Structure 1
């Protein structure tokens, strides 16, 4: 590919038509996961606030696997005005090697990469992540069940997207713009967005999306959705690691100077999560 092609998103229709999991129904997914319950992050489809729906505004719930994969449960979530998703960064902890091998990226030019190096995303209608920019690598996303909308912006339009490191999350830069409820943003935000050139794509089963390094993206499920992605390292990541290290030091210093009450507002995580004390301590240990 040329430099222009490498630096621009690409949609590959039916790019994983040879993947066996593409044929799995929801009962098969439930069987393969082999878990009695799933830890689901839940949020509101129409929250009252005008800022993005950070993780601090959501909740974690244990839901029986059979329920989460059933149409009845999914419909009830929509009726209650809620969404939920289950994501697992390390698929190698979910499936045996024989199953992981079914998620092979070889046909997409990534030799010897499969589910061992992939992340699983399962979510209901309306589930979404705030617009953000990943610090490392490029991203390949495979859609397996349902449909999902991606809105992407190039790195050179960052100034129009209100970038912020608060809430802080390792290797993610967030936008303060609420793309889930665009109409709730202030007028001056719309005035800046008119200078952007978003790339909007809907992924359907079998589709593969290439997300170039540092491209901003807002992602939302149109229907119940299952997708798998892998982040691929780039040589430029070394510079990004240095930059991220400096940001972590700043976050550590900040977390030492304010109370726990306020820390929960600067970390992008659910305040009820049992990992909160651990993640605060990790920050403190960076700069004791």
Structure 2
């Protein structure tokens, strides 16, 4: 019973393992062949947008400074695909291990319902009654299963980010690890957690609806339930909770096998299993973003390899993948290939030399403002306005580097000309909206030629919808003032040769554009040829006139 209630004891644990090994061959035969097939309803919210997803693990430094410090939930795709659990576990293998064990199972649709209760039952019965029958009313939820069954824990690797946790109570563990296992349709009602949460998906899929801490989700007034919303996300009562549908702006995502989801403290989230699902959550205390050095030391103190390629890889993983192998090798070599000393040296050097890096401030969106609507599969020009707010000129070779999100152009980097202190300028690039409708976003960072990021994060966020007219309006604005679009009215050729997205070179220029638009400290970045956009009929070729070249980016 102590093992079930989360009180591990080595001798009892070893005995339980031996007994379960003897019982496992005699478990009832069950059929798991259809355990991943049913369709599960998910919430529908009019203001919902997609959660930002990363395609690779950020460094610990980037995780703390860019994600934790900004209290931003994030989905990291494929982050735990290399876990032995993710690669090797199946329902059959779990049945052999869990079948002989006693498990605490929640019975009922969700814990806010009157019919909800808890029951201790054999794993064999849990699999037969709930897993095989796709009965979502049985759920092994928030249980310290890895403490109860250590052989499972060997296949789970605690994420490095948990090594940065701050100890605030000697009786409170730095990291609390819980298992969540159940059939399709299990639900956790809209609630929030008091700690940082890293949620790893080992088997199956889960759907998350996530709200910021200030969202109007109508928490229960009872202090014991104050972390839980009164709103039923699958069937919201708009009369009782009108602002939930009109003012709350949730993010949604599907966490698939191998994904890792980060949810900051106090962020509300509703969860439902789309398939038979096994998940692991890591709760850890608030981390101090200004104490990353100590956290880093704790996170990699256990490394003992002398393989130089491995050390270079680990150095880049902790500091950032934007670093080149030569930079990592330089710091490791000067530290006698001691990873801990090398990282401390790098951090100290970067801290003391930071004023010598260029500076950049994001001024605003010139075209395609945040969340503006664009039709699907449509070319458009995205323009940002930036300023050099530092004391040094931007070196030659700086680029705007794609970091993560929905990339709407084939290039990973956009060349950026030099910019002197105090100057402002615009960066424009040809983009194409996705084919699907929804909210899409990408993050860009300014980088020096040697790979050091500097300045503000630059976002591009667009709403793709069939009703969008922004790109059409943007490109029709190139038509000369006071002129009507040319047309051919002969026979079936009416308007067939007119492309409203191409500037008509035969027409006179707009006289209002013949004067400079910016002050003497402004720089207009020349457009770099974009082969992606030039291959489409909607591309706006630059005018051949010198005046047009001077102002085409405005």
TM-score by length of 1: 0.65
2:180 aligns with: 121
Cα deviation 1:25-84 (Å, max 9, x = unaligned): 11212333363443321224xxxxxxx7515431334444234335x8535354xxx521
Aligned partner of 1:28 in structure 2 is 93
* Structure whose alpha-carbon radius of gyration is higher: 2
Q: Indicate the SS of the match to 1:69.
A: helix
* Structure 2: gaps spanning 5 or more residues: 1-61, 166-174, 289-554
Equivalence for 2:115: 57
Specify which structure has the bigger relative contact order, considering alpha-carbon pairs within 8 angstroms and separated by 6 or more residues.
1
Query: In structure 2, which of residues 79, 98, 103 is the aligned counterpart of residue 15 of structure 1?
Result: 79
Separation (CA, whole Å) in 1 of partners of 2:275 and 2:119: 20
Whole-angstrom CA distance in 2 between matches of 1:176 and 1:163: 6
Shift of 1:14: 0.7
| Residues 106 and 140 in structure 2, CA contact (< 8 A), matched pair in contact too | yes
| Cα deviation 1:60-111 (Å, max 9, x = unaligned) | 34444234335x8535354xxx521012432343122x542431124x4334
Shift of 1:8: 1.4
Distance 1:37 1:77 in 2: 20
CA distance in 2, matches of 1:10, 1:233: 18
The residue aligned with 2:212 is: 154
After TM superposition, the structure 1 = structure 2 runs for residues 69-108 of structure 1, keeping only pairs within 5 Å, are 69-70=127-128, 73-74=130-131, 76-78=133-135, 82-96=136-150, 99-106=152-159, 108=160
Distance 1:212 1:39 in 2: 27
Q: Cα 1:92–1:125, aligned 2, differ >3 Å: closer, same or farther?
A: closer
1:204-225 Cα shifts (integer Å, max 9, x gaps): 1101000012101111111211
Identify the match of residue 42 of structure 1 among 101, 107, 122: 107
Which structure has more strand as a fraction of its residues? 1
Unaligned runs of 5+ in 1: 45-51, 237-288
Deviation at 1:151, TM superposition (A): 0.7
Q: How does 1:96-245 map to 2 (within 5 A)?
A: 96=150, 99-106=152-159, 108-111=160-163, 117-134=176-193, 136-157=194-215, 160-166=216-222, 168=224, 173-182=227-236, 185-234=237-286
From the two aligned structures, give the one with the greater helix fraction: 1
Residues of 2 paired with 1:189 and 1:231: CA distance? 30
Separation in structure 1 between the aligned mates of residue 148 and residue 277 of structure 2, nearest angstrom = 18
Query: TM-score scaled to structure 2, two decimals?
Result: 0.35
Give the conservation status (yes or no) of the 8 Å contact 2:80–2:259: yes
